[in-house]
Structure 1
Amino acid sequence: MQYFIQRHPLNYDGSQLQSLFTYKNFGLMGDSVLVFRGSCTVEQNEMVDMEDVVAQDWIHSEDMLHFIVEHFDMDLEKTIVRQRLLIATIKEELEVRGVTTLRRSGDDLYAGDKKLSVSIATLSPVSTLVHCGLNISNHNTPIPTIGLTNLNIDDVFQFGESVAEHYCAEVLSMRLARCKVRGVS
């Protein structure tokens, strides 16, 4: 599993959540994590979360740290588990940096009633995908939010790379764990 840090701004509108996006745009073939920074505005026509569509919610943040994860298998339930692994990895990385006030609820992180993250897992015709966005700024968001700057995370790319590195290592570790056990009858 590989990761790529895109340091030039890239705004997220939901269309980036597609198979082979990281390969087509950044040359990373296979299971991967793309990390980038940019605004986030997802209108209903690009929404993957039907609960948000039914509620007529929309997502907006002026500045987010984004993760797009792609795995080339077709198991959505496994991908949801991986999505939660990514969220747990983010929480652990924040704890290493002294942020101990967050709680995880499903696939999101909160400080009290203020939301830090948005996240979704889905299927494409050839892979499964996860998008996770972390507010950097909490200005002009449609709901109460907190941002990485509020948590004193200043170097968001270094933070994002650390998350990607640890997520990739965890996935590799799980794959190797399958190879070291013998079957039982």
Structure 2
Amino acid sequence: MRYYIHQNPLDYDGSQLQSLFTYKNFGLMGDSICVFRGKCRVEQNEMVDMEDVAAKDWIYSEDMLHFIVEHFEMDLEKTIIRQRLLIATIKEELEALGVKSLRRTGDDIYDGDRKLSVSIATLSPVSTLIHCGLNVSNHNTPIPTIGLTDLQVHNIYEFGENVAKRYCDEISSIGLARCKVRGVV
């Protein structure tokens, strides 16, 4: 598992949640996590979450830190567990910076009733994918939100890289943990 940090602005509209996104755009092949920053506007036609589609919701943020994770397996349940691992990793990284007011509910992070994150996990024809976006700014969002700048996170790319490293380390550690135990009868 490897990561890539893209430091030029790149907006997210949902179409980036596709197989081989990181390979096609940045040359990183295999299981990966890509981190980038940009606006977020996901309309109905790009929504993956059918509850959001049914509710006619849409996602918007003027400035978001995005993570796209791709694993070349076809197990959606395992990917949802990994999605929650990513969210827990983000929360732990914020706690390491001194932010103690957050709570994780499923695949989202909140400060009180203000939402920090959006996240979805899905399947592609060749892999499973996770998108997670963290508000950097909470200006003009359609629901009550909080941003990383409100939480005093000032170096956004450094924070994103720290999360990516921790996630890769967790995935590697899980792989090693599978290999160190003997079977029982």
User: Normalising to structure 2: TM-score of the pair?
Assistant: 1.00
Q: Distance in 1 between matches of 2:100 and 2:19?
A: 35
Structure 2 distance, partners of 1:100, 1:70, is 29
Question: Cα distance, 1:13 vs. partner?
Answer: 0.1
Tell me how far 1:136 sits from its aligned partner. Answer: 0.2
- Matched with 1:50 is 50
Q: Which amino acid aligns with 1:118?
A: V
Tell me, what secondary structure is at the counterpart of 1:100? coil
Identify the residue that residue 41 of structure 1 maps to in structure 2.
Answer: 41
- Structure 2 unmatched ranges of 5 or more: none
Compute the RMSD of aligned alpha carbons.
0.2
Verify: 1:112 aligned to 2:112, yes or no: yes
1:140 is matched by which residue type in structure 2? N
Give the 4+ runs in structure 1 shifted more than 2 A: none
Partner of 1:176: 176
Over residues 81-123 of structure 1, what are the superposed CA-to-partner deviations in whole Å (9 max), with x where a residue is unaligned?
A: 0000000000000000000000000000000000000000000
Per the alignment, in what secondary structure is the counterpart of residue 129 of structure 1? Answer: strand
Shift of 1:148: 0.2
User: Which residue matches 2:77?
Assistant: 77
Partner Cα separation in structure 2 for residue 24 and residue 147 of structure 1: 30
Aligned match of 2:139: 139
Tell me the SS of whatever aligns to 2:30. Answer: coil
How far apart in 2 are the matches of 1:178 and 1:80?
19
Unaligned runs of 5+ in 1: none
Aligned-partner SS, 2:142: coil
Secondary structure of the residue aligned to 2:170 is helix
Q: Helix, strand or coil for the counterpart of 2:15?
A: coil
Distance in 2 of aligned mates of 1:24 and 1:36: 15
Equivalent-residue separation in structure 1 for 2:155 and 2:149 (angstroms): 9
Counterpart position of 1:91: 91
Q: Secondary structure at the match of 1:36?
A: strand
TM superposition shift of 1:178? 0.3
Residue 127 (structure 2) pairs with residue 151 (structure 1):
no
- Following superposition, the deviation at residue 41 of structure 1 comes to 0.0
Give 1:10 shift: 0.2
**Partner residue in 1 for 2:163:** 163
Query: With structure 1 as the length reference, what TM-score do the two structures score?
Result: 1.00
Give 1:165 shift. Answer: 0.1
CA distance in 2, matches of 1:96, 1:36: 21
Distance in structure 2 (CA, Å) of the matches to 1:69 and 1:156: 18
Counterpart for residue 20 of structure 1: 20
CA deviation after TM superposition for structure 1 residue 62, in Å: 0.2
Deviation at 1:151, TM superposition (A): 0.1
Distance in 2 separating the partners of 1:60 and 1:42 = 7
